Structure 1
Amino acid sequence: MSSSELADARLSALIAHLYDAALDSALWPGMAARTAQALDSTSTVIKLHGEGARVDLLECTDNLNVAERDRAWAEDWHRRDLWVERSVAHGLSRVITDEDLVTPEEQAHSGFYQEWLRHLDIHHMLGAVFPTADGTLGVLGIHRPRSAGAYTGVERSKVALLLPHLQRALRLGQHLSGMSRAHAAALQALDRIDTGVVVVDGRCRVLQTSAMADRLLRENTGLSAVCGHLRAQPPALHDTLSRRVRAAVNTARGHPADSATMLAIPRPGRLPLTVEITPLRPSMPAFGDPGPAALVFIRDPEAPVDQQALRALYGLTRTEAAVAGALAQGRSPEQIADRLGIGLATVRSHLKRILAKTGTHRQAEAVALLARSV
């Protein structure tokens, strides 16, 4: 393979790696070094310049890293990057070199060169400033020392080929990062609420569960996961569950069906679980999304109340929080006294203090507040 063919192969591999890194951020480290190697250079920086002089270094070669004690100094020069300022005036998404932006005399006498570039052994630059998806300015800077010689038209053409792929990869990465944050926030929110959430397809096959749903399905025989499928007992109730799941999935497909969405799952000697089934429309049907599904919300009226949260919200003592938590579960003062091993009069005394601290006046009012506040 000739040197020209080897250079072209490196550039092609770099472009392919850009898209892989957009899909998997773990592949970004080393991107700058790959870029420098593909352009016969010693250093590369990829960064974002945003509002308020904010600069985010996405990736740079190791020789551009500075000691911790010099971090503020380096950040200041990144904000006052002379080449970036001149490139914006020169035109966005235009491939430029240092020779397009400053004369040799101006560069040699600038503080940017004297204090910053000389420290990094940088003299020649090849790159571009370009818009990104979130309104910030992307910066690609490729550098080498004076002894390596100025960049040629061939190298400028290579960056012109690389640049649109870098822009697309960054936009894709930013978009997927936003989706990932939204997905993570949704999962964390589901794990914080006291309702179990199960995603199922039209055959009741379990696609995803929240932490609360996992616990409820393990602890209850009336509603459980059997061989990867959501199943209710007795069989007649499972038939009803299946019909309502199919109806929800059909609605998600755009064919509204039976609007009944609620079910009660009986439990011997205990309050029933309540189940709500709603449609879940596909978000990206063209890219492998499993298609329409149903969300199954499961609530246990006997689920323990977060007593620590009650203490933080209302300034309750440990015992008052235990009484309040039992009240929120629908237990009577007599049941609470028996459960906690204290006298009924003591429970009533705690209840008076709970009413005062929560600003309520009746036991039923306090129960509603406590049950809904955590």
Structure 2
Amino acid sequence: MITADELEQVSAILGTIYDTILAKSSWQDVLEQTCALLAAEAGSIIFLDPVGQRAAYAFEHGTDPKYSELFLTYGSANPFMLSVLLAPVGEVAKPLELVGRQAISKERFYKEWCEPQNYGDFIGGLVARRDRQFATFSFVRLTHEPLFDEREDRLLRLIVPHVVRSLTIAEAFDEVVTEKHAYLDTLDLLRSPAMLVRSDMSVAYVNPAGQNLVREQDGAIARLADGRLVLNDKQIFSAVRSAVASDSGARMFMLGDPPHTSISIVPIKSSQLSALPVADATSAIFFSSATANLPPPAQPLVDAFGLTPAELRILILLLEGRTPNAIADDIGVGIATVRTHIASLLAKTGSVRQQDMIAKVAALMPPIGALPN
């Protein structure tokens, strides 16, 4: 069971997560707070490109900069590349269990990166998937500490969906705002409805998607009345109105059963008002529709051929054009092991030649573009 103290910590973390929409530096606080909750040594948000074999730290807490740099150099030899190809967005997973603890302990990545830092266990979630990259929200414990268990899994499952929503809402806020109208220009680019409101719920600005939302007639969830935002769900509206009036920090509310729309309230800090032409707005409100996550990009291969994680990893490296010898060197196993996996792949895919197998499975892989240089 999750304790009352743990729920209070989770609530504080969620508030900080929604602060990140307009203050990205707050991700450092999110990582620090989550490390404390999970009793983790370090935490990070990392962007991974499995096709281009590139990685980049976005935010990190408790990490060693030297090893953060080293992490970015492993490419195909990094088992975390496999984990993002299999993970659904919003799910919590343990990468070492996916690849196999015994198997990974023999790999170059483990010996050169995990062992010197005494890293013993990882837990995290895939929190964003775009055409060009993946983002993970992950945490680590040391070898002398207990492995992450059901408690940490349950707690992280409460947090990860909010990280997903926050990153989705903030997607168009990736550039540093330097001009007066940049906030409004950025809001206009959002496909999700967004509004800037004053403490009395009077609307200072509505983006085009928001204008469409309040114009809807049948089944509308929001409307404008005398220039003020009104939600048709009276209970949720009362809570939203109180949150805006009290300036009580970032909050999120769900509409529908099961949830179909999330309403996120992000206070506008005084330091941000100078960047807004609407100087008296106190909160930004974002409406985000809950949509089904796309299947993991490698999942069609697993479903079609019944591949194991180890076989999938070999197959992906073959798709990249790696030779069996290069694969053996990259992941730290013998060439005989690699050839055994290839033989199993040929059998499972009903292929005689390696080239035929690659052509067959490539047709099932959704396209994933590489990160731009």
| Fold shared per TM-score above 0.5 | no
What is the TM-score with the length of structure 1 in the denominator? 0.44
Radius of gyration: which is bigger? 1
1 or 2, which has the higher helix percentage? 1
